[in-house]
């Protein structure tokens, strides 16, 4: 509680079995990065005007019981350089925010953040033990490695910050609540996720600055891509069961693959989106809310939907790419009479469409589309922008079979696998009808033929 205790040049190990309390004066610890030079077995408190001088050394906490606290509330220096927790029976609870100016290790025991923040300007390494985040923020400026133990994300935030490149290496998959990538010095400051690893973000993902390479980010909540973010080639996935908003403040989405795999609900984009990698919609809906450029091909699988209902949107598809809609997949574009959705190629060469699923397209302007690989596309309310193959823009003849239900508006009840649109000639046959048609809302068609015998 006053004066100076200088152990920086200690000729032997310093092992404190009880508490360390410095409320005034200075405590200077050994300048060694090992597990024996300085160990502490009780509470740790640097408070008041006390000063802790770490001398670029390590403090190893090895308490063999629970209920230990760590306080760093001093008006003077109280940050750690290296810190390690290493006793299976130990439990430590932070009393305020903690800063580690080099590396952090959790090998054994439990560290409860108690809703406080932890900043690690070096590496975070967890090979065992339990980390409990609470509502606090863990900021890691270089490498995050978790090879064992438990990371309880609670409702906290993991921020990858700093001014240097960093890595993420987890045991295949690790789940977090909120994640922010914000590497701020140079646009090339990169966070590299180990190839084959996936980080799952259950709430909010903020891609603010820097870039993210390799690996996969699986987002179940909202995503914001900031204007200073510099892409990277990480793979992205939208999953979970909640509605998601993907806010794009600049055209800088990561260039890896994008997979949509939502058991329910929709991932909706806002702003301009360019996808360089392959888009695969396995399940759920990707709704386009702004101009979109597809440069890697699209596959919509059974149970998946690619949609847009924002009039005036331009959707551009690379002429070397193919849009494949498999059986049970959906491709729905709903423009407005005076504000068409534009569906076009990026050059004067056609893009390919293989339609084996369902579609619902109204008020679109289509050009340079070769749909010869699948069923004929009908667009009675749409505009032929030119250079299209296997598209019909005049009214078509469409016949009811009622194979799925009695609902007029169900595409599977019609022989063209779409519902009638304005200009179509509708036929209701006298035989081969599984269910009789029922209209729940008003509809406009070109003509209606009821077969003899009805």
**For the purposes of burial, counting CB atoms within 10 Å of the CB of 204, is it exposed (0-12), middle (13-18) or buried (19 or more)?**
middle
Q: How confident is the model at residue 234 (pLDDT cuts 50, 70, 90)?
A: very high
- pLDDT digit string (tens) for 75-124? 999 999 999 999 999 999 999 999 999 999 999 999 999 999 999 999 99
Average pLDDT over the chain reads 95
d(CA 149, CA 376): 56
Structure confidence at residue 218 (pLDDT): 98
Q: How confident is the model at residue 188 (pLDDT cuts 50, 70, 90)?
A: low
Neighbours of 213 (CB within 10 A): 18
CA 279, distance to chain mean position in Å, is 14
Structure confidence at residue 187 (pLDDT): 57
Phi and psi, residue 254, nearest 5°: -50, 150
Structure confidence at residue 335 (pLDDT): 96
Structural tokens at position 355: 């339609």
Residue 373 region by backbone torsions, left for phi larger than 0, else alpha for psi between -120 and 50, else beta: alpha
Instruction: Give SS3 for 308.
Output: strand
Name the one residue in this structure whose structure tokens are 């702004």. Answer: 290
d(CA 59, CA 402): 74
Q: What is the mean pLDDT of residues 334-349?
A: 96
- pLDDT digit string (tens) for 33-72? 999 999 999 999 999 999 999 999 999 999 999 999 999 9
Structure confidence at residue 10 (pLDDT): 72
SS (H, E, C) 282-293: EEEEEECCCCEE
Sequential DSSP letters for 1-56: --SEEE-TT-SS-EEE-S-EEESSSEEE-----SSSSEEE-S-EEE-TT-EEE-TT
Is a pLDDT exceeding 70 seen at residue 186? no
Q: Which tops the pLDDT comparison, 415 or 192?
A: 192
Is a pLDDT exceeding 70 seen at residue 425? yes
d(CA 398, CA 28): 86
Structure confidence at residue 1 (pLDDT): 67
d(CA 93, CA 145): 22
Q: How confident is the model at residue 396 (pLDDT cuts 50, 70, 90)?
A: confident
- pLDDT digit string (tens) for 128-173? 999 999 999 999 999 999 999 999 999 999 999 999 999 999 999 9
d(CA 411, CA 112): 55
Instruction: Give SS3 for 156.
Output: coil
């Amino acid at each position: 509680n006053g004066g100076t205790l200088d152990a920086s040049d200690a000729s032997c190990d310093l092992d404190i079995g009880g508490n360390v309390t410095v409320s005034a004066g200075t405590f200077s610890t050994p300048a060694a990065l090992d597990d024996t030079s300085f160990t502490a077995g009780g509470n740790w408190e640097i408070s008041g005007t006390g000063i802790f001088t770490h001398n670029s050394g390590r403090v190893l906490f090895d308490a063999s019981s629970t209920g230990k606290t760590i306080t760093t509330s001093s008006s003077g220096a109280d940050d750690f350089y290296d810190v390690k927790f290493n006793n299976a029976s130990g439990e430590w609870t932070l009393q305020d925010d903690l800063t580690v100016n080099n590396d952090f290790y959790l090998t054994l025991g439990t560290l409860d953040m108690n809703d406080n923040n932890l900043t690690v300007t070096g590496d975070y390494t967890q090979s065992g033990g339990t980390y409990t985040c609470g509502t606090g923020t863990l900021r890691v400026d270089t490498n995050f490695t978790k090879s064992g133990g438990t990371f309880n994300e609670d409702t906290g935030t993991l921020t990858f910050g700093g001014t240097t490149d960093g890595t993420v290496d987890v045991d295949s998959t690790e789940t977090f609540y909120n994640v922010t990538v914000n590497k701020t010095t140079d646009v090339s400051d990169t966070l590299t996720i180990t190839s084959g690893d996936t980080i799952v973000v259950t709430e909010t993902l903020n891609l603010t600055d820097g870039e993210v390479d390799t690996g996969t980010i699986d987002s179940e909540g909202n995503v914001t891509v900031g204007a200073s973010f510099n892409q990277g080639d990480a793979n992205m996935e939208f999953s979970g069961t909640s509605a998601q908003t993907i806010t794009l403040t600049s055209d800088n989405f990561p260039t890896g693959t994008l997979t949509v795999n939502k058991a329910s609900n929709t991932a909706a984009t806002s702003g301009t989106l360019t996808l360089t990698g392959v888009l695969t919609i396995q399940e759920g809906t990707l709704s386009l809310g702004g101009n979109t450029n597809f440069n890697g091909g699209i596959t919509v699988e059974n149970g998946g939907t690619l949609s847009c209902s924002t009039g005036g949107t331009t959707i551009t598809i690379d002429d070397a790419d193919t849009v494949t809609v498999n059986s049970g997949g959906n491709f729905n574009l709903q423009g407005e009479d005076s504000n068409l959705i534009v569906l076009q190629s990026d050059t004067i060469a056609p893009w390919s469409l293989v339609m084996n699923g369902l579609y619902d397209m109204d008020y679109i302007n289509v050009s340079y589309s070769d749909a010869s690989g699948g069923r004929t596309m009908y667009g009675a309310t749409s505009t032929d922008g030119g250079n299209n193959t296997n598209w019909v823009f005049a009214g078509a003849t469409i016949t009811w079979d009622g194979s799925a239900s009695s609902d007029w508006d169900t595409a599977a009840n019609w022989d063209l696998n779409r519902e009638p649109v304005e200009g179509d000639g509708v036929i209701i046959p006298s035989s081969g009808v599984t269910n009789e048609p029922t209209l729940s809302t008003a509809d406009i068609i070109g003509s209606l033929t009821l077969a003899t015998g009805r």
